[in-house]
Structure 1
Amino acid sequence: MAADQVTINDEPKGGRVTAEAAVKAIKAGRNKHVDIAAQIISDYADQMDGESWSVEEEKRLIRRIDWRLIPTLFVCATLSGLDKTAISAAAIYNIKTDLHITGAQYSWIGSAPFFGGLVFMGPLAYCLQKVPAVPFFAFNVLCWGILEMCMAACTSFGGLFACRFLLGGCESLLIPAVTLVVSMWYRPEEQPKRNSIILNVVAPIINGFVAWAVGYYNGPFETWKIIFLVVGALTIVTSVVVYFVFQVPYPREKYIVIQRKAADNTGIESKTFKIDQVWEAIFDIKTWLMWIAIAALQVPNGGLTTFNTLIISGLGFDSLQTSLLAMPPGAMSTLSGIGLSYLAATTRRYRTAIVTVSILLPLLGAVLCYALPQTNLAGQLLGLYILYTYWAPYITLVSVYQANVAGHTKKITLYAWFYIAWATGNIIGPQTFRADQAPKYTGGTVAMIVCYIIAMFSITAYGLVCHFSNKKRADAIEGRMAADHDWLDMTDKENAGFKYTT
């Protein structure tokens, strides 16, 4: 056989699940307990038995999947960010004055989407496992657009808070869904790059451009309303695209994807809800260390997303200048996220250490903003822009828990729970920026410094726990014991041969 050929047979090689093993699992009545991949392999065992595919065919398949999944998820994530950050653009075009919103009320409006996320996340995560995923997700995107356009009709704090609360509830599905999709379709070493592209921070760039463009409008219609209408219309159009683009590949393609994923032992999907996996997730120390790290890294996100334009305008810039100066932070976040993710993809042994060290950069930015006087415009802007590299450690951290969680119910549970950490941090963030401390917002800056330090300790502890778990499992890992349990929908703790990314 040629070196670039992969052949299916009944002898497990490199963690590959065999057709015979899958068929036996299904015939034994375990179809409700095994991963859906075992069912697919069983269904197509006769068709695929003895067939092979080349390395080049596999690469072409992954490229095709990339071109279907990544751009669409990228647009969805961008619009989700844009829907939430549009409020900061509206803030420099008198929405606070027109709707008689006080400083404290504006902070609550900043937190509103994340309160909605906390309320809606549980039911949506459950639905994600039980109902057809594609139409359900497309419907959620449609709701984003409708709610965004409804904000243009708001006349009070209450109406705007309600719209943003419901918007956050519908958008809460995005991050768990993206995290799940990437973990299902890609190997651990492939996940960081895809995460960094999909979960981007391009929204502030687009938000700044839209705010700058509408700033030239001089008609009778309020400028801030135009921002909400434009963003909402774009989101509604995207929901239609999502519905038609997310199509399941052909049986042969599904078979190849399943076989290439076998080695990481994290599974594909199961429609059976397993309460024991939920309890395991709750009582796992790694769950709480990761939760603390995510929440801490999102406190800056919540504050800066809501107040970045007010911070910049507080330095003495007008509305048009503020719109343009609010664009570079998005580029800083996105480029730093891509760069760090590509670095992290080169190793599974030192990934948590890389994330921890990377937090020093946004920490420096926060210290500069705190220490430098407001009159030092260049220094304040530099500190603010460096601050936005906080997204890089967060987005790289996503790839760590993607690689370290097995068992479909446990994955669904933890991805939802980590979204709650994300939402909690984003709720706290705007509350640390007090109106009476404008334009320096000392409380917000100090909160960011403290949270970065907490995140560094939590991530380091998480990496050490994973490292010592691997040492205890060394014999099982070396003996490839995990390969005997492929597609049995076992959790990482249940599978003695599972190797954690550290």
Structure 2
Amino acid sequence: MTSKVQSEAYAAKPMEPLDHGQGEIIPLTQAQARRLLLKTDLVVMPLVVLSMTLAFLDKNALGYTAIYGLKDDAHLVGQQYSWLGSIFYFGYLAMEFPNLYLMTRLPIGKYVGTCLALWGACLCFMALCHNFGGLATIRFLLGILEAAILPCMMIINSMWYLREEQPLRTAFWYNTFAGVFGGILSYAIGHINGSMSTWKYIFLIYGATTVLAGALVFFGLPDSPAKAWFFNAEEKNLALIRLAPNQTGIEANKKFHVAHIIEALRDPKCYCIWLGVLGYALANAGLTNFNPLIISGYGFSAARTVLMATPQAAVAMVSQAILTTISFFKPNLRCIFWVFGSVMGMIGAVMLHSLNVETQRNASLAGVYLMGFYNVPWVFLLSLSSSNTGGATKKSFMGMSIAVVYAVGNIIGPQFFLSSQSPKYALGIGMMIFSFALMAAAGLVYHGLCFFENKRRDSKYGMPHDDADVGLEADRNDLTDVQNTNFRYTY
């Protein structure tokens, strides 16, 4: 027999029970839903935050090591440093298509943990390199190993959290802790009086920490709610009921559907996501690899430069925390905040491009910090892709394609920063102005597409049914957001 379950996960009274066809009736109460969410936040969220923080810390390490003598010790000339920024993403790009298959076949927790441990080991090997060839080879391998992390995090986000819970959690795991603490850590490491160059200590310390974190994630991050070691048997079933209203699927490992990929390629909303990603990636390439070098042009010492870079990351962290919290309580503000963050970043880039460093240093430096808003549109963009994509293969493809566009943008971006224009990098800053404008335009169009598609579905199919059994049925049949006429987009 079958019976319906109210989809509201936080109902004040016990929900109508779900019959699994085995005589087992499982109600879901407000207290149970809160306990499930709390357990998830206490175990899953720290592990994914740790993974992404180390990913950012490791990537940002290149900029800090440049301040501490990497370019001189490795005899880098011309655009070779820029190519170290780009070549990472050649490896990243090369691995994305294999990842599309691997993410639907391998246990996702074990996969992420293994990649973490291996790229930590590679980062340690960076300290042994003494020329461009060695550094470029290791950077390429780092790109291969990190390629799976972002797509996996997007799947994990939609696997463990309700749609309204995802923006705030995305802000946590796609954080700028690395930017804030990376400068402070690099400043502290800069005071080590050892036999090696300071930049080598940065790679060794960051790499060893990442290896240990990989082991922790491998053994601690469950592959799905149904396999969570911190849920008992009843809670594993309740977790599926709690997440059913997402109607985007819960299990990560399902049959590969080519039709899901074709659907994504025909969906204009996906192109808005991709254009937004491209804009972000171009800006990210400049800020990740050249922000410390830009700030050094204000006349600060090496140690002071790494500290002066931290406020930009603090702006990103605070702004995305505030805006994602607001979006949790007020629905359908994500695209508005996406556009707002893009515009604020563009204002900062215009200030940096137009103000004279010698006579207006403080105002120009304020422009650098305003560009910290660049992370806000990215957080909302990722959460929207997770929330609005149904079907296991389509979700995996969107995660992979976002990573591909992200890689392409990060390959192209550093090439606009010409060594002959250091430290002002007029062409590179001009490119970032364009990238912020592209992000803003993509957010506006995405908002309109979702809004009018919801209106069309309401008119054609009537108001959606939020029963949990509808969501479970969509999950069992592996329906995409387009196939599921009961699905409505958030924006």
Aligned to 1:46: 22
Give yes or no for the alignment of 1:56 onto 2:31: yes
Among 213, 231, 236, the alignment partner of 2:206 is 231
Partner residue of 1:14? 6
Offset, 1:158: 1.1
SS at match of 1:473: helix
The CA distance in 2 between the partners of 1:72 and 1:13, in whole Å, is: 31
Whole-Å separation in 1 of the counterparts to 2:127 and 2:153: 29
1:168 aligns with 2:168: no
Q: Which residue of 1 aligns with 2:314?
A: 331
Task: Tell me the equivalent position of 2:433.
Answer: 449
Please tell me whether the aligned partners of residues 477 and 496 of structure 1 are also in contact (alpha carbons under 8 angstroms): no
Matched, 1:470 2:454: yes
> Please, which moves more after superposition, 304-313 or 258-267?
258-267
- Superposed CA deviations along residues 253-286 of structure 1, whole A, max 9, x for unmatched, are 2211111222221111242111111111112111
In structure 1, give the amino acid aligned to 2:377. P
CA change 1:441–1:257 in 2 (3 A) is same
Q: Take 2:372 and 2:487, find their aligned partners in 1: how far apart are those partners?
A: 35
Q: More deviation in 261-270 or 196-205?
A: 261-270
Given that 2:474 and 2:484 are in contact with CA atoms closer than 8 Å, whether structure 1 keeps it comes out as: no
How far apart are the structure 2 equivalents of 1:244 and 1:275?
32
Counterpart code for 2:426: T
1:302-341 matches, cutoff 5 A: 302-341=285-324
- Alignment partners' CA distance in 2, 1:189 and 1:182: 11
Show the counterpart of 1:257.
239
Partner letter of residue 182 of structure 2? N
If the length of structure 1 is used for normalisation, what is the TM-score?
Answer: 0.89
Q: Is the 8 A contact 1:183 1:191 kept in 2?
A: yes
Aligned partner of 1:90 in structure 2 is 65
1:356 aligns to what? 339
Does residue 1:486 correspond to 2:474, yes or no?
Answer: yes
In 2, the alpha carbon distance for the partners of 1:477 and 1:305 equals 47
The structural deviation recorded for 1:479 is 4.9
Correspondence for 1:3: none
TM-score by length of structure 2 reads 0.91
2:353 to 348, 353, 370: 370
The aligned amino acid for 2:444 is T
Q: Do the aligned partners of 1:89 and 1:309 also contact (CA within 8 Å) in 2?
A: yes
- Compared CA separation, residues 478 and 371, structure 1 to 2 (3 A): same
The answer on whether the counterparts of 1:14 and 1:263 sit within 8 Å (CA) in structure 2 is: no
- Inter-partner Cα distance in structure 1 for 2:462 and 2:127: 57
Q: 1:404 aligns with which of 373, 376, 388?
A: 388
Aligned to 2:12: none
1:363-442 aligned within 5 A: 363-375=346-358, 376-442=360-426
Does the residue aligned with 2:192 lie in a helix, a strand or coil? coil
Residue pair 2:91, 2:142 contacting (<8 A) in 1 also: yes
**How far apart are 1:110 and its partner, in Å?**
1.0
CA-CA distance at 1:220 after TM superposition: 2.9
SS of alignment partner, residue 379 of structure 1: helix
Deviation at 1:348, TM superposition (A): 3.8
Unpaired stretches in structure 1, ≥5 consecutive residues = 1-8, 18-40
**Equivalence for 1:38:** none
CA RMSD of aligned residues (A): 1.9
Note the alpha carbon deviations across 1:301-353, whole angstroms, 9 max, x for none. Answer: 11111011111111111111112112222211111121121122234434212
Whole-angstrom distance in 1 between the partners of 2:328 and 2:458: 23
- Any residues of structure 2 matched to 1:190-269 within 5 Å, and which? 190-247=165-222, 248-249=227-228, 250-269=232-251
- Flag structure 2 segments of 5+ consecutive residues without an equivalent: 10-17
From 88, 105, 108, the equivalent of 2:83 is 108
Shift of 1:295: 0.8
1:51 is displaced (CA, Å) by 3.4
Residue-by-residue CA offset, 1:42-80 (whole Å, 9 max, x unaligned): 9x6536x23324311220121011110111111110110
Q: Secondary structure of the residue that 1:357 maps to in structure 2? A: helix
Asked if the contact 2:341–2:375 (Cα under 8 Å) also holds between the matched residues in 1, the reply is no
Q: Percent identity?
A: 33
Contact 2:293 2:423 in 1 (8 A): yes
Residue range with higher mean Cα deviation, 478-487 or 333-342: 478-487
| Structure 2 residue corresponding to 1:65, chosen from 36, 40, 48 | 40
- Counterpart contact for 1:477–1:499, Cα < 8 Å: no
- Residues 377 and 358 of structure 1, relative CA distance in 2, 3 Å threshold: same
- Deviations 1:434-468 (CA, angstroms, capped at 9, x unpaired): 11111111111111111111111111111111122
In the TM superposition, residue 481 of structure 1 has moved relative to its aligned partner by: 8.7
Q: Which amino acid aligns with 2:343?
A: L
